[in-house]
Amino acid sequence: MAVTTSTDHRVRFIAGVLLTTIPLWLLAWHFRVHNPLFVSRHIPIHNAWTVDRETFIQEWMENQIGNPPNRSAISYLCRKPEIKWRPSVVMDLDDANGGIGNVRGNIFDFLGLAILTGSSIMLPSFQSRSAEDLSSLWNGKIPFTTFFDTEHFVATFAAACPKMEIYMPSTNHSLLPPLTNRYGMPSMRQDLWPETVGTETPNTPEAAVKNFDSWLSAQPDKSTETTLVSVGRTLWEGLDTRALPTAVRRDFGNSLRLIPEVRRLAAIVTYNLALKYHLHTIDPRLPYYPSSFLGAHLRTENDAKAAGWLDNEAAAAHANYTGQTDAYLSQALEHNLPIIYVASGNATETSRFAEKAWSLHSINVTSKASLLTGPDLAALEALTWDQQGLVDYEVLRRCSSLAGFARSSFAFNIAITRHEFVDVNREVLRLRPEDVRREDVAFEDGLSKIWGRFEWQEERMLRGAWP
């Protein structure tokens, strides 16, 4: 009898369990079917634990904004019927310079001008930074391949913009020398300079083309054959990016892809970061990781100091080392991110920040140099100072929350790229200079926050920098 009773109990217990769990299970099933968030949980987890290192690296490298390339997007610019193609006019960007943010700005302004005037181009080069003195930016021209993937660039324009010929400085020397006078492009940014609307020289792309036409016809030494024109650099004075369709903006921006060596190192850094700090949500196929780490650009190196960037008046209290690190820590806390990946060209400052973050908030701070070992670290160390910074540029593009400093176009350009991930329905990019901004924050869109202020740059970059 005792046995029967116990069985009865068990039967009753199981029935009870079933009666309560079946409805719960049905409810969960209902949710899974009807809620896309639940469905996505059932896609197998894809991260540094479930794929091997080489697959992770390959997938990481294949996925980014502007991929797969949509050539019809770039050809949108080159197909404009008003463009008068003149392949015998070859433009050469004379003096692009600075770090990646500025060099990208110089090159895109130049490309916009070349396309709209129907010119050919010399593959752009730029000035190198001195290894001894980081403030010294004029140390001779260095080739495009120092930063950018030449093959990708040439293939992109060959397909999307076949009428724009690209000359290689190393193999097409016969063109030299250029015209004696250098051409300076007027701004195309009517949004920045609206007061000139209605005057004889409005700041429009059309006016810039006209300006070039009359400048060229006035040059005494222009030849009837191929003419090389040196073009002075401009910075974020070219096309108004926000006036273009999203696909065009993304794809044009992606034509300047960083060199594969740098991108591969960034993929390895991310792989090691995921493993070391157990970041399971880092899926190499995602263009950014919604909840894994804060990416911070600590811009306190000696050249920034020398330029006066760290003086407080310049950036409303978030300028110096204390100001930047306090701001970045508050952002990590706000977003509940216990890991900070810091981009800095100064190892001493990086470890100071790590000690501070750990002692105040038990937040781990890491960097590319501490995440690479052996041959990977050697490959990093073989790069120049600016090239090493490019590894950070790539890693930061995908962080969960980006923290940067307003004086730097490096962080600001990443923020503008990341803004492409923001749902267009909640687009909050402050588009116009007159829009109200916080006194101490240059940019904030939920994915990125640029601390401090630098109005000159904000006004130009918001609509002038490419993702």
Ligand X SMILES: *[C@@H]1O[C@H](CO)[C@@H](O)[C@H](O)[C@H]1NC(C)=O
Stretch that binds ligand X, among 243-251, 280-288, 399-407, 448-456 (CB under 6 A): 243-251
- Residues in CB range of 148: below 8 A, 6 or more apart: 256, 257, 258, 259
Q: Min. distance of Cβ 228 from ligand X in angstroms?
A: 12
Establish if 245 lies at the interface with ligand X (CB under 6 A). Answer: yes
277-296 positions binding ligand X, by CB under 6 A: 277
Q: Quick one: tokens of 266?
A: 């960034």
- Please give the Cα distance from 325 to 328 (Å, whole number): 5
> Binder to ligand X among 314, 317, 333, 429 (CB under 6 A)?
317
> Binder to ligand X among 32, 46, 67, 76 (CB under 6 A)?
76
- Please give the Cα distance from 112 to 176 (Å, whole number): 23
Q: Min. distance of Cβ 344 from ligand X in angstroms?
A: 9
- Please give the Cα distance from 448 to 155 (Å, whole number): 32
Which residue number, 215 or 277, has a Cβ lying nearer to ligand X? 277
- Edge to edge, what strands does the sheet with 227-231 contain? 166-167, 120-122, 89-93, 227-231
Residue 62 CB-density burial (10 A; 0-12 exposed, 13-18 middle, 19+ buried): exposed
> Binder to ligand X among 119, 320, 388, 457 (CB under 6 A)?
320
Which residue number, 237 or 349, has a Cβ lying nearer to ligand X? 349
> Binder to ligand X among 58, 67, 172, 281 (CB under 6 A)?
172
> Binder to ligand X among 94, 109, 283, 301 (CB under 6 A)?
301
Q: Please list the helix, strand and coil fractions of the chain in percent, rounded to the nearest 5, in that order.
A: 50, 10, 40
Q: Min. distance of Cβ 246 from ligand X in angstroms?
A: 8
**Residue 374 backbone zone (phi > 0: left; psi -120 to 50: alpha; other: beta):** left
Establish if 171 lies at the interface with ligand X (CB under 6 A). Answer: yes
Give 296's DSSP letter: E
> Binder to ligand X among 56, 148, 153, 167 (CB under 6 A)?
167
394-413 positions binding ligand X, by CB under 6 A: none
13-72 positions binding ligand X, by CB under 6 A: 70, 72
- Sign of the torsion angle spanned by Cα atoms 203, 206, 210, 213: positive
Which residue number, 369 or 446, has a Cβ lying nearer to ligand X? 369
Closest C-alpha among 284, 271, 457, 290 to residue 376: 271
321-360 positions binding ligand X, by CB under 6 A: 322-323, 346, 348-349, 358
E strands along 271-368, which residues? 294-297, 339-343, 364-366
Instruction: State the amino acid at position 344 in one-letter form.
Output: S
> Binder to ligand X among 150, 196, 364, 384 (CB under 6 A)?
364
Q: Min. distance of Cβ 43 from ligand X in angstroms?
A: 22
- Please give the Cα distance from 260 to 147 (Å, whole number): 10
List residues binding ligand X (CB under 6 A).
Answer: 70, 72-73, 76, 165, 167-168, 171-172, 245, 247-248, 276-277, 301-302, 312, 317, 320, 322-323, 346, 348-349, 358, 364
